[in-house]
Structure formats: structure tokens, C-alpha cells
Structure 1
């Protein structure tokens, strides 16, 4: 009888102990284990990181690392560390934190209005793991350029401004391959046919679109400007586009941060393949990343007889167009007089 009683007491003690241990364990797993004040934070684990690296990365965000480690070990996380971008929300427990470290969250990578490939690489590298130098090297890989019909000067046409979903730890090569796929998707049979109708290849259409993009921020005017440049190309006239001169000056000075508000007469004689006052035809590469409206303007230009235009002093941001040189000279003098009166220097 005493034996039975002792067994019963021992069982009660064991069950109580198990319940207490279970309670402690549950508390370890399911109690809050974050220490950041924001509602959510992203944690970045570089490629090649070890479990020890991850623990150091998590220190600013995890309140009790021992509790995190206990759950991580039970769920075999130390043997299965993955690089990437991971989302933590305020108040997560250890179980949720470990679970979050298994779910790589994509980046909504956005880019537009970049002036050069170098600027683009810097913009992209701020959003994904590869650095700008690695990206530049992979963009300018000689084998890739040859396979896709690009050159060092014009490979920038490959990047169509948009928002793309990619993983933060995507490699530079995979990112480039995604961009060339997007490029080919953009240049559908319909767009290819429209470019051919204008006597342009996709590369040439994009270079021209970059000039149209820089000439006017007024999207409704871009088809008319595109029509002027296409008329000039057909006539064998130089494009005489001021934005190409500005680009040439910046390239000569190796200073793309400078702001140039005015092109002077002497600037028109600058020896550069980008100076379309001296060079007949298109420059060797784009002078900016054109947006879709500029590309569409080149593919769907306004039909007209205009071969000249200059900035309007009556409609700010727009231009005055002319079919003859005398008409253009009147418009140009009006603009020149106005800008001189404003005291605009370089």
C-alpha cells in the first residue's frame, strides 16, 4: 500500500515537473523575443554567412539570444543557414523568428531616370547584394556584349525602367540575365516592326528616345520632338540636340554631377562622338535611360514637316516648332533674348 502511495506521489511529482518544464519551454519558445521599436525591420544575411555570423547580425534585434538559439537548434537552423533578406515584426517570439529566417523576402527593385550605366549600377547595388563594380563588370563582359549585339557604349539600352521583383542575394550574373530577358520581352514583334518602320534598330530607337527624354519633360510633346529628329535623320541633317552637347561636356570633364542649364555657341564645336552638332546621325550610346513614354514617342512619332524647334518662352517647358529656317530663327531669337534677360550662365 505504501509502495502504491509512493508510486502515486512520484507520478504526481514527475507530472508536475514535466508541466513546469513544459511551461518554461513554452515560455522560451512563445514569449516575445524582439527588442526593436519599429513595427518591422529587415535583416540581411550575406552570401556565405555561417550560423555564428547570423547570431552577430541578429544581436541588435533579438532580446534573448539563448532563447533564440534553443529554438534554432531544435529546428536545425544552424545547419541550414540561408542568405537573403528577412522580415522581423515587433513582438515576434523565438519560434517566429527562426521561421522568418527561412523565408527570403523579395525586393521590389525600382530604377528610372538614370543618366549613365555607372549611375544605374550604383542605384541597383543599393537595393541588392552585389556591389556596383561587380555589376559593371558583368554588364560589360565581352562575351555577353558580343552574344547580344551590344557595345561598351550602348549596353545601357538594355535596361528598361520598371519595378522588378528579385531576391536581395541575387547574383550579378542572374540579375543581368533577368534584365536581358526583360529587354527582349519589351521588344516584342510589334515594337520591332514599329522601330523598323522608322528605319531604326531597337538599340538606335532607344538612343534616340534618350535624347527625346532629355529634350522635354512634357510627355504629350515627345511624339512631336521625335518626329523632328526622325525627319532630320531621313534628310541627313545633324540632330543638333543640346542634351547631347551637355552629355559630351560632362563626359569630357568626367563630372556628371555638374548642372548645365545653358549651351553656348563655343560648346557646339566640342569634339565628341556625342556632339550631334558635329556628328551626323545618332551618338554611339544613350545619353540617359529613357522612360517608356519617350520610347513610345520614337516608335509612334507625330507626322509633320517640322525640322526645327526651340524652347518656348510663352509655354514654359514646351517648345516652338518650325518647318523652315527663317521661322526657326524668329523663335530662336525670341528665346535667346529671354534667356539673356534672365542672366542664366552655365
Structure 2
């Protein structure tokens, strides 16, 4: 009888301790990283997958406490898919309540792959659901406000859809896009192919922006990246029209003329060797991966558009000129 009593007492103590621990966990605010933090819960997500996602996004240290708490409520299966935004630290219990009540963030803004920073600013300025704190600021001041160390904004912001609450400003969103680009570029840099000519991830970002502007076809990006890398290796000029267009700025009227190709400026890759000084747009993940993991070297040095969005690749100038004659001049 004494053993039974002791076991019962021990079980009671453990139950009380467990309940106290669980209560403490459920009510203690989590330190949300990089606020505001957007959590995307996909359709069909279970409490297990969401708990692990919270750990991966550094909102939880381990998944089991959250899973136990959720299951004890009896609503672990009531998760609702959506985009959730956390502007401040939140307790696990409150976080779980948001996920089961469907307190999703509905406001969003989309930055398109290949947009320039000027286009991003225009989109932010037009959005009615955003606090416009950066509208009158210079590019340099915006970079300072979001904590960027780079002197020039082009290419530093990851193109994606960003969800936010009505209390957020354009600077908050730009900071998220800036941090996203750094995270994705740094991650891709760690798995880059060997023997690439980049001294820094920023140089890879420059080439990725050129690849982004040269083609919208996913399957062609690694091949186009290889063409430019082959040229850099041989000391050839890149001779790519998108950099010329970028250097022309507002004077570009939709056409590139011979005088434009001869007008020297830092972005004219017909008159200057090597990479331009900065990216020319915000590249997406596909272009970044192509720049860091290009096609195997097949010796291609040229490509020309076929008129349908795809390109013909050539190894010699003679082959390239034949392709230009056929696809650009319309001759057989």
C-alpha cells in the first residue's frame, strides 16, 4: 500500500509540475526574429509540420512543447492555411489561437522578377494599404533607414509577394525584401559551382541580374549564364543590351541605336570589359541559381533571340552571324 501511495503521490507531483511547465511555456512570449515576421501556413499542414516550420523559422526552439500544448486544447486539427504576420512578440498560446482562428494577413504587395528599384518604389507609392514613410526619401537615405551597408540599391531586394498589416510602412517591407535577398544569395553562394570568377556574392548578383533581363525561360538561364562566364574567362566583353538600356536611363525610348552602343558609360558592356558596377535589376531565385550553378561548359560564346522568347546558341562568330541572319533579319 505504501508503494502505491508513493507512486500516486509521485504521479500527482509530476502532473502538477508538467501542468505548471506547460502553462509557463504557453504564456511566455516568443522572441519573434526579424519583426515583422511573415508565417505562411500551406493547405494541408498538420500541427507537426507547423511546429517544425516554426523551429526552422526560429520562432520556437523545439517543436514538442508546442505540439503537446496544441493537442491538449483539442483543436490541433483546426489549423487554417494562410499568411500570418507577427509585428511583435507573441505567446505560443496566442500564436496557436491565431492559427486556428484564421487571423490571416490579407494585404500583400508583389515585386516582379527583373524590376528595378525605381519600379519597386513606384509600386510601393501606389499601394493604399502602406504607410508611406519613404516616399520623399532619397535612395541613399532609404538604404540607411533599413540598415543596408551597400551604397546603391539596385538588385538588393528579393522579388516576391510580401504580406503585411495596415500598420506597416514601405520601409518595413523594403527591409524584409532586403533581408530576404541577403539570405537567399548567401545560401546559394554556399552551394556554388567551383572555379567561378566571382570575388564576392555581389558580383554573382550582378551577373544574375543580367541573366534575369536576358530571358524569361527558366531552362535557358543556366546556359546564358555560362555564355557570359565564358566571355569573362576569355576577356571578351559581355556585349549585352540590357546593361546598355539600364545605362541609358530615362533616355531609352524602346530602341537601341548604333550610337547608343558606342556611347561609353559604366554600364555599356559593348565599350567596357568585365561586369558593370552594380546589378541592373532585382533577379529572382532562378537567375541567382543559374549564375552560381551554370550549365557545364559547352563552349558557347553567343546567343540570339528566335523571336518566340527562346534563343539559339553558337560557339563561333560565323555560326552566330548565320543565326542572326536567319532569326533577326528573316533570311534563310
Distance, in Å, in 2 between the alignment partners of 1:202 and 1:168 is: 34
Distance, in Å, in 2 between the alignment partners of 1:168 and 1:118 is: 23
Verify the 8 A CA contact 1:187 1:202 in the aligned structure 2. Answer: yes
Verify the 8 A CA contact 1:310 1:319 in the aligned structure 2. Answer: yes
Aligned residue for 1:206, secondary structure, equals helix
Q: Any stretches of 5+ residues in structure 2 without a counterpart?
A: 1-102
CA offsets 1:119-148 (integer angstroms, 9 cap, x no match):
111112333423385375366456569x74
Structure 2 equivalent of residue 301 of structure 1: 294
Correspondence list, 1:70-85, <5 A: none
Structure 1 equivalent of residue 254 of structure 2: 259
Q: Any stretches of 5+ residues in structure 1 without a counterpart?
A: 1-102, 342-346
Compared CA separation, residues 171 and 131, structure 1 to 2 (3 A): closer
TM-score, with length taken from structure 2: 0.59
Compared CA separation, residues 248 and 338, structure 1 to 2 (3 A): farther
* Number of equivalenced pairs: 227
Structure 1 equivalent of residue 278 of structure 2: 285
Please, what is the CA RMSD of the aligned residues?
3.0
Alignment partner of 1:131 is 2:125: no
Verify the 8 A CA contact 1:124 1:132 in the aligned structure 2. Answer: no
Aligned residue for 1:165, secondary structure, equals strand
TM-score, with length taken from structure 1: 0.57
Verify the 8 A CA contact 2:207 2:291 in the aligned structure 1. Answer: yes
Distance, in Å, in 1 between the alignment partners of 2:145 and 2:274 is: 26
Verify the 8 A CA contact 1:209 1:297 in the aligned structure 2. Answer: yes
Aligned with residue 167 of structure 1, among 165, 172, 186: 165
Distance, in Å, in 2 between the alignment partners of 1:138 and 1:307 is: 36
Structure 2 equivalent of residue 54 of structure 1: none
Verify the 8 A CA contact 1:114 1:120 in the aligned structure 2. Answer: no
Compared CA separation, residues 236 and 298, structure 1 to 2 (3 A): same
Residue 312 of structure 1 and its aligned partner are, at CA, apart by 2.6
CA offsets 1:10-44 (integer angstroms, 9 cap, x no match):
xxxxxxxxxxxxxxxxxxxxxxxxxxxxxxxxxxx
Compared CA separation, residues 227 and 169, structure 1 to 2 (3 A): same
Verify the 8 A CA contact 2:158 2:284 in the aligned structure 1. Answer: yes
Distance, in Å, in 2 between the alignment partners of 1:186 and 1:247 is: 24
Distance, in Å, in 2 between the alignment partners of 1:320 and 1:126 is: 39
Distance, in Å, in 2 between the alignment partners of 1:136 and 1:335 is: 45
Verify the 8 A CA contact 1:306 1:321 in the aligned structure 2. Answer: yes
Structure 2 equivalent of residue 222 of structure 1: 221
